[in-house]
A and B are shown apart, each in its own frame.
Chain A
Amino acid sequence: MDAFTTHTGTAAPLRRSNVDTDQIIPAEYLKRITRTGFEDGLFVAWRTNEPDFVLNQPAYADASILVAGPDFGTGSSREHANWALLDGGFRVVISSRFADIFRNNSTKAGLLTVVLPQEQVEALWTAIEADPTTRVTVDLREKQVGYGDTTLPFEVDDYVRWRLLEGLDDVGLTERNLDDIEAFEAGRPSWLPTATPLS
């Protein structure tokens, strides 16, 4: 996973709530067995069917920060949604509420999710709609979003922040605690099931 410290770019306003992961990337793109190359599926239905869709507008073509309505990333656990956003050039998604699995997957994939109150999201929408070239900086070290004269602090779990700043792999961290896992396994009740085929 790539480390995330700070990112500056332009931002695209996605004025929709309840953007489910089926919209971020439909199921037909999930048949692939690779971990990259999902940009063609990103919001493909809206990009295809709605000429005015924000990501079809040239002014937002290079946006790397997505500013979405509440309840972003609901539904399916598909991490392909996070990969598609990264493949599509996004490093940050800002919303007032995220679905839990999407947010958790983001921390594994290296996509930063930032929660801001809805009124701050609305103000940011207004700013980037008025001037799509507005530079927005998301600084994970300082835990703040900045644009123009505005600086907005955001909350992030300290452990998640540390992992993202260092670009650390969870599996490697867990493997340091192998002794604990072995001790736990030794104490499990013997009647618990195994999936081993029965003769």
Chain B
Amino acid sequence: MPKTLAEKVYEAHVVRSAAGEPDLLFIDLHLVHEVTSPQAFDGLRAAGRTVRRPDLTMATEDHNVPTLDILAPIADPVSRAQIEALRTNTAEFGIRLAPMGDRDQGIVHVIGPQLGLTQPGMTIVCGDSHTSTHGAFGALAFGIGTSEVEHVLATQTLPQYAPKQMAVTVTGRLAPGVSAKDIILAVIAEIGTNGAQGHVIEYRGSAIEALSMESRMTICNMSIEAGAKAGLIAPDQTTLDFLRGRPHAPQGADWDAAVEYWSTLRTDEGVVFDREVVLDAATLTPFVTWGTNPGQGLPIAGTVPDPADIADEGRRRDVEQALAYMGLEPGTPLREIEVDTVFLGSCTNGRIEDLRVAAELLRGKRIDPGTRMLVVPGSVGVKAQAEEEGLDQVFLDAGAEWRGAGCSMCLGMNPDQLQPGERSASTSNRNFQGRQGKGGRTHLVSPSVAAATALTGKLTAPADLTTAQA
């Protein structure tokens, strides 16, 4: 019987399968950060348990870390205590930790691929919903809660049910200035925040195959925003080229054995998915969100929706609540929305390609004087590479702030937050109420829209800049 890529990876990890029980699934890599792990380690201690496979577990500090003065002690005592708990726990249980200041530190979903720990065909979990990022390599990667973190620490397995299978096929080619972020925002707007509930999404089609690994990670990253269990993309030459030579990638004969296995990791001909969605990349334009969930997005040429046009009472109430929170009037062109802050970073768009795209638009220009722009590399490694390429200077010359690595303003657990009523254009993944700071208003955008918006102070597509100059 033909199988999907996700089914193949799932079945290759079933430790035990019995009628009337969930399958027991083996986990190849467990990524850990400071926020969702302390209670799990406490649970292990309380039960007198150990970590079964510390060698398959990797921890880093990302959510709480300040992006300024990163070598000074964290000023916020609660954040500091959480970081210290992670250091104590990883030392006690023998787990590798990349702490602040370490060359391998960074957002957990940036460092896994960077180190070559993320490889095709693996099962990867983390107490973080954006673990779906690692699916870009053809891994089955998904976010879990703290009880499950404890379960994986103790047993290196998880009880699971086989998810349903969904295909998102993106045909055609993207126009210049349109990116992976626009694809995924368009997909979520199309199917809704729970459109993929219970499913693993496989992204396929010519537009997906043409994407770099960074762009594939952007797409898989936001699978959770469509409610998916995970999102993945079949490994191909692009995947191999990215992986080869990375610190933890196989070498020599091991590489050949791995590549032989990885070549089997594709969906068989004749598979029927439980659900299929098809998009033509050529029809896509830069996408921005106007509301308070990632499904509330439109092409940038659009206008703020009018609740009066919506017949369904529940949906109308949603839009009314979103517009009231966002401080937006129905019918306003999205391009006229003024922002205070531009945030470039996060596990969605904090990789080197994202910084390059934004820097290219900013090179030799100054950002709008009324707008602040924070550039936060996804990892120390990304930061070092950007500095080697001189991108830091491009951002600084343009008037942007060049910061240390971490999750930063994506969720404001560190000091990088919006003030009440402030509005951002953000390359992160969630425009939820208060996500970037109490009362903050978030518009999700791609890195190129973020850069163009920083230049004008209003939501702007990169193509608008050339039009204005011409």
Residues in A lying within 8 Å of B, measured CB to CB: 15-18, 20, 22-23, 26-28, 30-35, 45, 69-71, 74-80, 82, 97, 99-101, 104-105, 108-109, 118, 158-159, 170-171, 173-175, 177, 180-181, 184-185, 188-198
User: Among the listed B21, B116, B154, which residue makes an inter-chain contact with A193, where contact means beta carbons less than 8 Å apart?
Assistant: B116
Enumerate the 10 nearest inter-chain pairs by beta-carbon distance, A residue then B residue, closest first.
Answer: A108-B147, A79-B145, A105-B145, A33-B38, A191-B254, A195-B58, A77-B143, A77-B129, A31-B78, A191-B250
B56 within 8 A of A: yes
B99 within 8 A of A: no
Q: Given A27-B411, A75-B430, verify A171-B36 contact (CB < 8 Å).
A: no
Interface residues of B in 1-43 (CB under 8 A from A): 15-16, 20-22, 24, 26, 28-29, 35-36, 38-39, 42
Q: List 26 A-B contacts (CB under 8 A).
A: A16-B321, A18-B293, A18-B295, A23-B434, A27-B412, A31-B81, A34-B39, A74-B227, A77-B129, A77-B143, A79-B146, A100-B197, A100-B198, A101-B144, A105-B147, A108-B148, A109-B147, A171-B150, A188-B26, A190-B254, A193-B29, A194-B56, A194-B248, A195-B55, A195-B57, A195-B117
User: Among the listed B28, B96, B433, which residue makes an inter-chain contact with A192, where contact means beta carbons less than 8 Å apart?
Assistant: B28
B82 x A74 contact (CB < 8 A): no
B15 x A99 contact (CB < 8 A): no
Q: How far is the CA of A98 from the CA of B157 in the complex (A)?
A: 24
Which residues of chain A have C-beta atoms less than 8 A from B317's C-beta? Answer: 15-17
Q: How far is the CA of A108 from the CA of B149 in the complex (A)?
A: 11
User: Among the listed A70, A74, A158, A191, which residue makes an inter-chain contact with B314, where contact means beta carbons less than 8 Å apart?
Assistant: A70
B154 x A20 contact (CB < 8 A): no
Instruction: State the Cβ distance, A49 to closest chain B Cβ, in Å.
Output: 8
Choose among A77, A104, A108, A171 the residue with the greatest number of B CB atoms under 10 Å from its CB. A77
Q: Given A174-B159, A180-B16, verify A75-B432 contact (CB < 8 Å).
A: yes
Instruction: State the Cβ distance, B85 to closest chain A Cβ, in Å.
Output: 5
Q: How far is the CA of A185 from the CA of B56 in the complex (A)?
A: 12
Which residues of chain A have C-beta atoms less than 8 A from B76's C-beta? Answer: 31
Mask: chain B, 81-117; 1 = CB below 8 Å from A; 0 = not: 1100100000000001000000000000000000011
B257 within 8 A of A: yes
Q: Given A77-B128, A195-B56, verify A181-B26 contact (CB < 8 Å).
A: yes
Interface residues of B in 294-336 (CB under 8 A from A): 295, 314, 317-318, 321
User: Among the listed B36, B154, B194, B247, which residue makes an inter-chain contact with A78, where contact means beta carbons less than 8 Å apart?
Assistant: B36
A198 x B413 contact (CB < 8 A): no
Q: How far is the CA of A191 from the CA of B259 in the complex (A)?
A: 11
Number of interface residues of B (CB under 8 A): 84
Which residues of chain B have C-beta atoms less than 8 A from A108's C-beta? Answer: 145, 147-148
A-B pairs under 8 A by CB, number: 200
User: Among the listed A99, A118, A190, A197, which residue makes an inter-chain contact with B194, where contact means beta carbons less than 8 Å apart?
Assistant: A99
Residues in B lying within 8 Å of A, measured CB to CB: 15-16, 20-22, 24, 26, 28-29, 35-36, 38-39, 42, 47, 49, 52, 55-58, 63-64, 76, 78-79, 81-82, 85, 96, 116-117, 119, 122, 127-129, 143-148, 150-151, 154-157, 159, 192-194, 197-198, 224-225, 227, 229, 247-250, 254-255, 257-258, 261, 292-293, 295, 314, 317-318, 321, 411-413, 430, 432-435, 438
Q: How far is the CA of A70 from the CA of B293 in the complex (A)?
A: 13
Q: Which A residue's beta carbon lies closest to that of B199?
A: A100
Q: Given A70-B314, A100-B198, verify A27-B413 contact (CB < 8 Å).
A: yes
